[in-house]
């Protein structure tokens, strides 16, 4: 799979890149990404649909590259049929190689529901 950084945000952990004017950053990533951003989003939506109210859904993921591997950072948002996305209520981290949800690094379902209730009020 080819990931185009112009389409999505790529986050590099550990090493901080200084903010300089007119700076261009080029990097090469070699490794397998077995899970597409679409599949990661669908995996998260499956979990949300089975456990939470229907107005909570996964949004488009960003790719995160860490020393532990590549991950999809999938935002979870509260929506409204008339207004669209109301706000972000959490995020779920999906391993880009295995497709497994990283529960330790993800917002819990309980937190997502609390955040959605808070935003809805």
User: Tens of pLDDT along 59-117?
Assistant: 999 998 887 888 999 999 999 999 999 999 999 999 999 999 999 999 999 999 999 99
The continuous run of DSSP H or E covering 48 comes out as helix 37-51
Q: Answer yes or no: is 103 within a domain.
A: yes
Per-residue pLDDT for 11 more than 90? no
- Per-residue pLDDT at 90: 97
Q: Answer yes or no: is 4 within a domain.
A: no
What is the domain extent for residue 79? 32-120
Q: Answer yes or no: is 24 within a domain.
A: no
Q: Answer yes or no: is 5 within a domain.
A: no
- Per-residue pLDDT at 6: 40
- What is the total count of domains within the chain? 1
Q: What is the pTM of this model?
A: 0.77
Q: Answer yes or no: is 23 within a domain.
A: no
Q: Answer yes or no: is 94 within a domain.
A: yes
Q: Answer yes or no: is 47 within a domain.
A: yes
pLDDT, tens digit (0-9, with 9 covering 90-100), for 18-55: 666 676 666 666 667 899 999 999 999 999 999 998 89
Q: Answer yes or no: is 7 within a domain.
A: no
């Amino acid at each position: 799979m080819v990931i185009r950084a112009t389409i999505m945000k790529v986050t590099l952990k550990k090493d901080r890149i200084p903010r300089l004017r007119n700076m261009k950053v080029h990097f090469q990533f070699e490794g397998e990404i077995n899970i597409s951003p679409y599949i990661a989003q669908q995996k998260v939506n499956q979990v949300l649909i089975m456990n939470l109210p229907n107005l909570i859904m996964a949004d488009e993921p960003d790719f995160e590259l860490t020393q532990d591997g590549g991950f999809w950072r999938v935002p979870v948002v509260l929506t409204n049929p008339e207004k669209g996305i109301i706000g972000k209520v959490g995020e779920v981290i999906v391993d880009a190689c295995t497709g497994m949800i990283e529960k330790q690094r993800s917002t819990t379902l309980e937190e997502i529901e609390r955040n959605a209730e808070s935003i809805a009020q």
